[in-house]
Amino acid sequence: MFAKMYDWIDERLNITPIWRDIADYEVPAHVNPANKMSAFVYCFGGLTFLIIVTQILSGMFLALYYVPDIVNAYKSVDYITNEVLLGNIVRGMHFWGASLVIIMMFLHMLRVFFTGSYKAPRELNWVVGVLIFLVVMAFGFTGYLLPWDQKAYWATAVGTNIAGSVPIIGPYIRTLLVGGDTLGALTLTRFFAIHVFFLPAFLLVLLAAHFYMIRKQGISGPL
């Protein structure tokens, strides 16, 4: 039955070439740990993506309970941690996953750097990768404030003050982030919006470009 359904769709939309193109990609021997164990370094990028996917999923579930205002943010995180079924696990995944993404992404970047894979013709993909790195750091910075506990508040107070100390544009950046003079209700909604709407949009576009270029250019050859 599924074969018939597939045929019905395929007759109309001709979807076969799209996924066949991806499925038939020839994975070279030198990146396949099944051939040579040391090729495991080529797995870091894929594992980074896997953890990003779990971050998106756990974040979606946290958003079911989280309330981005200064009265309820802390209470909702407390509720997720102590009352919601498996809430502490989902929050734990999101919390530790943030660190794990950064570790895996860093390892992936070092692999690409030390194998010289950023060289022509792959310069643009390297640039996109560095941008992904910056977006992920921004995720970390904005996400840290959301529980609205002491640690979150004071780390963000210091972080935004550092941004404010930059000559000329600093005060404007600070106002943009904080939404006023003092860290408060507006800051929390801003960081929330940046964390769950702006940054994911950037990240998905950049990841799409990253993967498209990998497939278009192929994996760099053996050293």
Partner 1 sequence: MAEHYRERIPGTPRFKRDKEYPPGTEPFFPNFLLKEWIVGAMFLVGFILWVIFNPVGLEKVANPEDTTFIPVPDWYFLFLYQLLKYFPGKYVVFGTVVIPAIATLALLLAPWLDRRKERHPFKRPIATATMVLSVLFMIWLTYVAAEEHKAELAKQGPQATTPGGQQGTASGPVVDPEDEGAKLYAQSCSGCHGPNLEGSFGPSLLGIGNRMNAAQLSDVISKGFPPKMPARGGLQSDEQVKKVAEWLAKQKQK
User: Please, which of residues 20-59 interact with partner 1 by CB under 8 A?
Assistant: 20, 22-29, 32-35, 40, 43, 46-47, 50-51, 54
Angle at 48 between CA 58 and CA 103, to 5 degrees: 100
Q: According to CB under 8 A, which residues from 102 to 121 bind partner 1?
A: 102, 110, 113-120
- Round to the nearest angstrom and report the end-to-end CA distance of the chain: 48
**Nearest distance from residue 162's CB to partner 1, in Å?**
6
Q: Which amino acid is at 76?
A: S
176 near partner 1 (CB under 8 A):
no
Report whether 188 contacts 73 (CB < 8 A): yes
Q: Which of 12, 13, 82, 216 binds partner 1 (CB under 8 A)?
A: 82
Give the contact letters, 85-104, x = binds to partner 1 (CB under 8 A), - = no: ---xx-xxx-xxxxxx-x--
Provide, rounded to whole angstroms, the least separation between the CB of residue 125 and partner 1.
9
Smallest distance from partner 1 to CB 85, Å: 8
Closest C-alpha among 156, 161, 162, 164 to residue 184: 156
Rule CB under 8 A: say whether 137 interacts with partner 1: yes
| CA–CA–CA angle 12, 13, 15 (5° rounding) | 130
What 8-state DSSP symbol labels residue 166? S
Q: For the CB of residue 38, give the shortest distance to partner 1 in the complex, in Å.
A: 14
Q: Which of 78, 179, 202, 209 binds partner 1 (CB under 8 A)?
A: 78
Q: Which residues contact 65 (CB under 8 A, 6 or more apart)?
A: 76, 79, 80, 84, 87
